[in-house]
Amino acid sequence: MKANTRNLENFWMPFTANRQFKQTPRLLESAQGMYYRDVDGNQILDGTAGLWCVNAGHGRPEITEAVARQLEKLDYAPAFQMGHPIAFEFAEKLAETAPAGLDRIFFAGSGSEAVDTALKIAIAYQRAIGQGTRTRLIGRERGYHGVGFGGISVGGLVNNRRVFPLLPGAGHLRHTHDPARNAFSPDLPEHGAELADDLERMVALHGAETIAAVIVEPVAGSTGVLLPPKGYLERLRAITQKHGILLIFDEVITGFGRLGTPFAVDYFGVVPDLVTTAKGLTNGAIPMGAVFASRAVHDALMQGPAEQIELFHGYTYSGHPAACAAGLAALDIYQREGLLTRGASLAAAWRTAMQGLKDLPNVIDIRTIGLVAGIELASRPGAPGARAYDVFVKCFGDGLLIRVTGDIIALSPPLILSQSEIESIAGKLSDAIRKVA
């Protein structure tokens, strides 16, 4: 059945202009490897790994079979005062891949849940070490940390925040996007490390004894691929350490090979206290999130009478057996095929192809790292986002899925992509940017 002859009324779509979409729907029906197929039979090259999550490509039979086997054996079991082996097995395997020292793993159901879990762990940790006045959480402008009340409070996207009441006391560092000084940087931006000193200003304003944690995306993804200036993350780490503030890296996007290293922690060599993950954790096949905590954070909470629950937090689906099976199978593929580091070998070709779009009309900045690219377009006067949206629609019609946020095009293809697919992405995008005035 063609897309525009279906009943689309009942599904209230997330983060979508529902009425506009339902007039001219785009419906993906199947996927294999690097490609989707829509309901009209058109093939669409996946330039975004779904939503930054299908890192090993679509339709991996190993994952399908592992999930099917697991559902036949044990479909669901609670994880409160009860356990099932596969959750422990997955946590153990993840701990081997996780950045060194961050090997205590709390499972959640999504990136948003992982973020709220990490924020709560940070506050609980501070209280456990006698720092109960530290309840303030600091995020960053243009940060995206999902849509829970914790995540939107530390997040920095006004549309996600303005309608809702937020956590009291949450503060924000300035964002690091500075095209006037850094446009078309071939590498990490040269300018902006000093923006980390915003945290010193917050300490001076509020007192370190009120601040529990700072959360940042090492590379901001959803708000337009914003790379950390050289030295910025190191500086943030030093300031947090100096003041007893926990540092949380939100690696929901950067985790599992996106930057050409297993995690952004490995890419930048800066180790936080907590890392949030999701998406690539199961190759997107089954919803799941996870928090990797340092032993110091974990162990501080493992105090008091042994019969007492240490952290009053958890989800019905924490460590869901099917998600663990998908995660174990995904990890196995990542390791067998070297996908967690494959991006490093393709990064130069990827950068060259993307930088090749530099002279197209309206392109005002191009940023790449690993297998991520952000291509920023000048906004049409009075119509922010319209130009990139038109490029998105044109690309989809031409068989390429891209993602846009405001007037920034974000690309994050599956890590299995070939040189010819890099060229195909660049070619279709170039054509679309040229044609969309």
Residues of this chain that interact with ligand PLP (CB under 6 A) are 110-112, 115, 144-146, 217, 221-222, 250, 252-253, 278
Q: Quick one: angle between helices 339-355 and 321-336, nearest 10?
A: 70
Q: Closer to ligand PLP by CB, 278 or 425: give it.
A: 278
H or E element in which residue 275 lies:
strand 274-277
Separation CA 422–CA 351 (nearest Å):
10
Residue whose CB is less far from ligand PLP, 53 or 417: 53
155 versus 260: smaller Cβ distance to ligand PLP: 155
Select the residue whose beta carbon is closest to ligand PLP and give its number: 111
- In three-state secondary structure terms, 172 is strand
CB of 306 to ligand PLP, least distance (A): 33
Strands 363-369 vs 372-377: parallel, antiparallel or unpaired = antiparallel
Residue 110 or 131 with smaller CB distance to ligand PLP:
110
Q: How far is the CB of 120 from ligand PLP (least distance, A)?
A: 15
Min dist. Cβ of residue 256 to ligand PLP (A): 13
Q: Least separation, in Å, of the C-beta of 153 and ligand PLP?
A: 13
State which residue, 189 or 284, has the beta carbon closest to ligand PLP. 284
Give me 58's structure tokens. Answer: 């679509």
Query: Kindly report the CA angle at 371 between 55 and 94, in degrees rounded to 5?
Result: 40
State the minimum distance, in angstroms, from the CB of residue 221 to ligand PLP. 5
3-state secondary structure of 3: helix
Of the pair 131, 153, the CB lying nearest ligand PLP is at 153
Cβ distance to ligand PLP smaller for residue 208 or 227 = 227
Closest approach of ligand PLP to the CB of residue 15, in Å: 9
Phi, psi of 197 (to 5 degrees): -70, -10
Q: Please give the backbone phi and psi of residue 266, each rounded to the nearest 5 degrees, phi first.
A: -70, -35
Comparing CB distances to ligand PLP, the nearer of 266 and 390 is 266
- Alpha helices for 279-378 (secondary structure H): 295-301, 321-336, 339-355
Report the nearest approach of ligand PLP to the CB of residue 225 (Å): 11
Closest to ligand PLP by CB, 252 or 363: 252
- Residue 382 zone, left/alpha/beta (φ > 0; ψ -120 to 50; rest): left
Minimum distance between the CB of residue 233 and ligand PLP, rounded to whole angstroms?
15
Q: Are strands 171-173 and 246-250 parallel, antiparallel or unpaired?
A: unpaired
Reading the block at residue 319, the tokens are: 């460590």
**Smallest distance, ligand PLP to C-beta of residue 87, A:** 19
| Cβ neighbours of residue 278 closer than 8 Å, sequence gap 6 or more | 53, 108, 110, 111, 114, 252, 255, 287, 288, 289, 290
User: Nearer to ligand PLP by C-beta: 249 or 362?
Assistant: 249
R_g over Cα of the chain: 21
Shortest distance, CB of residue 162 to ligand PLP, whole angstroms? Answer: 19
- SS percent in the chain: helix, strand, coil, step 5: 40, 15, 45
299 C-beta neighbours (distance < 10 Å), count: 13
- The residues with which 383 forms a beta bridge, in sequence order, are 380
